[in-house]
């Protein structure tokens, strides 16, 4: 896990991503997935978690972010069968509650939930 506040090379980009650019291979279909289609700080921290307001996180922790793999980057179109995935993400927050680390460390197939 790398702290984006040290060294000046880990700034937040226009999509709200922190850290180095990463790419992963989908564990279900084997197709590449770039950061553009992976969970990011803006979508999961700013727009979902902190949208509720009136609290802040001030620690390091691990999040699991569920998302759908729907885009085939090799074919530049949707995948034939979109599938659910879970990203394991190391996150850290400073004393003001600002997210300073958002680092996807693993992607796995989402667990099936009983209906």
In angstroms, how far apart are the furthest CA atoms of the chain? 48
Residue 73 DSSP code = T
Residue 11 lies in a domain: no
Residue 17 inside a domain? The answer is no
Residue 65: which region, alpha, beta or left (left: phi > 0; alpha: psi -120 to 50)? beta
What would the pLDDT profile of 53-98 be if each residue is shown by its tens digit? Answer: 788 889 999 999 999 999 998 888 999 999 999 999 999 999 999 9
pLDDT band at 6 (very low <50, low <70, confident <90, very high): very low
The answer, yes or no, to whether residue 14 has pLDDT greater than 60, is: no
How many other C-beta atoms can be found within 10 angstroms of the C-beta atom of residue 69?
A: 23
* 74 within domain boundaries: yes
Q: In angstroms, rounded to a whole number, what is the distance separating the alpha carbons of residues 11 and 20?
A: 9
What's residue 64's pLDDT?
Answer: 95
User: What pTM was computed for the model?
Assistant: 0.74
Domain count, the chain: 1
Residue 3 belongs to some domain of the structure: no
Give the structural domain span for 38: 23-109
């Amino acid at each position: 896990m790398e702290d984006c506040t040290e060294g000046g090379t880990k700034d937040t980009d226009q999509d709200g991503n922190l850290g180095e650019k990463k790419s992963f291979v989908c564990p279900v279909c084997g197709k590449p997935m770039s950061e553009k289609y992976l969970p990011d700080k803006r979508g999961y921290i700013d727009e979902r978690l902190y949208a509720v307001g009136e609290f802040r996180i001030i620690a390091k922790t691990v999040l699991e972010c569920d998302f759908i793999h729907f885009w085939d980057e090799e074919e530049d179109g949707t995948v034939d069968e979109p599938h659910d995935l879970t990203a394991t993400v190391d996150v850290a927050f400073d004393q003001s509650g600002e997210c300073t680390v958002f680092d996807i460390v693993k992607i796995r197939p989402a667990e099936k939930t009983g209906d």
